[in-house]
Amino acid sequence: RTGVIMRAAYTHTNKKGLSQFVERVGAGQMKNDLIPFRVGMTVKVGVTVIEGAKPRVQPYEGVVIAIHRSGVASTVTVRKSMQGFGVERGFPIHSPLCTFEEARGAG
């Protein structure tokens, strides 16, 4: 019985330390030059795709349907219509592979 309590206390301490470590490391990874956008706005996202040894930027344009703010792990969900079907894609906001190039008014 004592072993269970000790293990739980150790796990809690370990998670707290890990959480603080992730926050410290993540603070240096966050982008400060983001363009302002909100849910309902049309955004243009440039996604860097590496094919072979050559990187290229693939554009993705659509309406922001959700923003999940969680520090360095923040994401935005963008929906676009492609060939009559709705396509949703999530992008990590602070990823060096995603650049938010443009934001226009609602819809």
Tell whether the model's pLDDT for residue 12 goes beyond 60: no
| More confident site: 78 or 100 | 78
Statement to judge: residues 83 and 37 lie in one domain: yes
Task: Identify which has the larger pLDDT, 92 or 1.
Answer: 92
- Helix, strand, or coil here: 32? coil
For range 17-30, the mean pLDDT: 71
**Same domain membership, residue 77 and residue 60:** yes
Angle at 67 between CA 58 and CA 87, to 5 degrees: 45
User: Which DSSP letter does residue 31 get?
Assistant: -
21-30, 40-49, 65-74, 88-97: the lowest-pLDDT one: 21-30
Question: Are both 45 and 57 inside the same structural domain?
Answer: yes
How does DSSP assign 47-82, residue by residue?
EEEEETTEEEEEEEEEEEEEEE-BTBT-EEEEEEEE
Does residue 56 share a domain with residue 5? no
* 13 confidence band (pLDDT: 50, 70, 90): low
Say which CATH number the domain at 65 has: 2.30.30.790
Question: What would the mean pLDDT of 65-83 be, rounded to a whole number?
Answer: 90
3 state DSSP class of 20: helix
Q: Is 80 exceeded by the pLDDT of residue 76?
A: yes
Task: Judge if 90 and 102 occupy the same domain.
Answer: yes
For residues 54 and 65, state if they share a domain: yes
Range of the domain at 8: 1-30
- Supply the pLDDT for residue 100: 87
Whether 82 and 95 map to the same domain: the answer is yes
pLDDT tens column, 27-64: 767 777 777 889 999 999 999 999 889 999 999 999 99
Q: Are residues 47 and 17 in the same domain?
A: no
Total domain count, the chain:
2
